[in-house]
Amino acid sequence: MTVDLDVVVDAVHRRYLAERGDDLPAADRGVSSLRRLVSEEAPLLSSESIARVLRAVEARVGGLGPLEPLLADPTVTEVMINGSGPVWVERRGEVETTGIDLDESTVRRLIERVVSPLGLRVDRSSPMVDARLPDGSRVNAVVPPLAIDGPCLTIRRFRAEPVPLGAFASDRVVDLLTAAVADRRNVVVSGGTGAGKTTLLNALAGEIPGRERVVTIEDSAELRLPGIHVVRLESRPASAEGYGEVSIRDLVRNALRMRPDRIVVGEVRGAEALDMLQAMNTGHDGTLSTCHANGPDDALRRLETLSLLAGIELPLTAVREQLVSAVDLVVQVARVPGGGRRVVAIGEPVESPDGRVRCREVVAAGVVVARPERPSREPSVSPPAHDPLEVPA
């Protein structure tokens, strides 16, 4: 007679929770007691089947249960749950459904398991939350009444292995970007949601000399830099009582007091844009960051708008002067057919005759069409014998 392992897993899980409770620390959950329960429920199971049942129950008790196999799959970059029903994933840039179906109570339990250890709360009075798994993966949860069809959970996987610059662009564009980092140019990476901005930022930051002191600032720590002198800062949302918030802007201001050689801001999405521009204009060369935008020109306009949100009475002309002086290159990354991410454009901010700031094309359609005109910000660098950014006639 064939034994249904799913039935065994359910039975062992129920008995284990009844005996030990679901709130015990992982260290207090003994594997020996699980083995005993498995033997009592299905004494004729093979050693291989027992191991499968143990892994499944341990995942339910100590991890994210049915999602654990997906989170262990290196090809999965995003896990999406839209209320009760099927679980969706993104693999190699393509969204597909899985064979996993969850009910609403299970989704709520998974969300609670993520946010509770972090001191966060998600309920009707606080129906949205952002969190981070121990491996660095970003988690977003939305529950009713905002999520009409049931609680939604989205997990963006953290990549343990960094992606090299060569995966984003041709050799000539890679040479241009590598030289930009070496010359301490201030670079902003722009793109849409899921375009690969953070991954490209990580690749660019990986070109920073290892001896330099780098301060990274993120709302969810994802950057993994190879240097030996890296300080990682992460913002903190307000507690369930509404206290203790530390914003990206607070961290940018604090980073200026930490004697950084470089500042890397994971994403600019608010008034911290002005503080970042001021840092770029006050000797903190080589700053790297990202922002959401459809193109290099749109990125400049977005930085203008975000800077005006700082609450300081500044005329738009002053903001534009700061912007054109601070940012050296805007790198646009986009998702291409097949699921890959590529650098599609690079622009150099210049002031147009009407007083606006726009980007002069350096890379168009992934091809180098011009070289940056601004001088290097690294004063100790002598001109190379062969200019890697030289554009052939």
Q: Of 321, 61, 315, 343, whose CA–CA distance to 195 is shortest?
A: 343
State the pLDDT at residue 99.
85
Q: How far apart are CA 270 and CA 255, in angstroms?
A: 17
Determine whether domain 67-156 maps to CATH 3.30.450.370: yes
Look at residue 262 in the predicted model and tell me its pLDDT.
94
pLDDT one-digit tens code per residue, 239-259: 767 778 899 999 999 999 999
Q: What angle do CA 332, 336, 338 make, to 5 degrees?
A: 155
Ranked by mean pLDDT, the top range of 57-61, 93-97, 215-219, 374-378 is 215-219
* Token pair belonging to 197: 């901005």
Q: What percent of the chain has pLDDT over 90?
A: 46
- Does residue 194 carry a pLDDT above 80? yes
**Average pLDDT, stretch 175-195?**
94
Q: Is the pLDDT of residue 342 over 60?
A: yes
> Residue 333, CB half-sphere, CA atoms under 13 Å: how many?
29
pLDDT at 301: 95
pLDDT at site 169: 93
* Cα 199–chain centre separation: 8
> Does 103 or 40 have the greater pLDDT score?
103
Could you give the CA distance from residue 346 to residue 332 in angstroms, rounded to a whole number?
Answer: 6
- In total, the chain counts a number of residues equal to 393
Compute the distance between CA of residue 130 and CA of residue 302 in angstroms, rounded to an integer.
23
Q: Lowest mean pLDDT: which of 51-60, 169-178, 209-218, 299-308? A: 51-60
- For Cα atoms 372, 377, 380, give the angle at the middle one, nearest 5 degrees: 120
Q: How much is the pLDDT for 154?
A: 94
Q: How far apart are CA 112 and CA 106, in angstroms?
A: 10
pLDDT of amino acid 251: 93
Residue 186 reports pLDDT greater than 50: yes
Cα separation, 156 vs 78, whole angstroms: 5
Cis previous bond, 145, omega within 30: yes
Local confidence band at 385 (pLDDT 50, 70, 90 cut-offs):
very low
Q: pTM for this one?
A: 0.75
Q: Which amino acid is at 235?
A: S
Say what the pLDDT of residue 350 is: 94
Task: Kindly list the domain boundaries of the chain, sorted by start residue.
Answer: 5-62, 67-156, 165-368
The pLDDT, as a whole number, for residue 148 is 92
- Rounded to the nearest angstrom, the gap between the alpha carbon of residue 40 and the centroid of all alpha carbons in its chain is 45
Place of tokens 């601070």: 326
Say what percent of the chain tops pLDDT 70: 88
Return the higher-pLDDT residue of 355 and 182.
182
Cα separation, 37 vs 234, in Å, equals 42
**Distance (Å, rounded) from C-alpha 333 to C-alpha 345?**
7
**Helices 171-182, 197-205: crossing angle, 10 deg rounding:** 60
3-state helix/strand/coil string of 226-277:
CCCCEEEEECECCCCCCCCCECHHHHHHHHCCCCCCEEEECCCCCCHHHHHH
Residue 380: pLDDT band by 50, 70, 90 thresholds?
low
More confident position, 237 or 99: 99
**pLDDT at residue 105 tops 50:** yes
Please give the span between the terminal C-alpha atoms of the chain, in angstroms, as a whole number: 77
In this prediction, residue 391 has a pLDDT band, given cuts at 50, 70 and 90, of low
Architecture in CATH for domain 165-368: 3-Layer(aba) Sandwich (3.40)
Exposed / middle / buried, residue 109 (Cβ in 10 Å: 0-12, 13-18, 19+): middle
pLDDT confidence of residue 27: 40
Q: Which positions ≥6 away from 2 have C-beta within 8 Å?
A: none
Which has the higher per-residue pLDDT, 109 or 286? 286
Above 90 in pLDDT, residue 133? no
Residues in contact with 367: Cβ distance below 8 Å, sequence separation at least 6, in sequence order? 170, 172, 173
pLDDT tens for 311-339 read 777 888 899 999 999 999 999 999 888 77
pLDDT tens-place string over residues 19-70? 655 444 444 445 567 788 888 778 778 888 888 777 777 666 666 778 888 8
CA dist 73 and 144 (Å) reads: 30
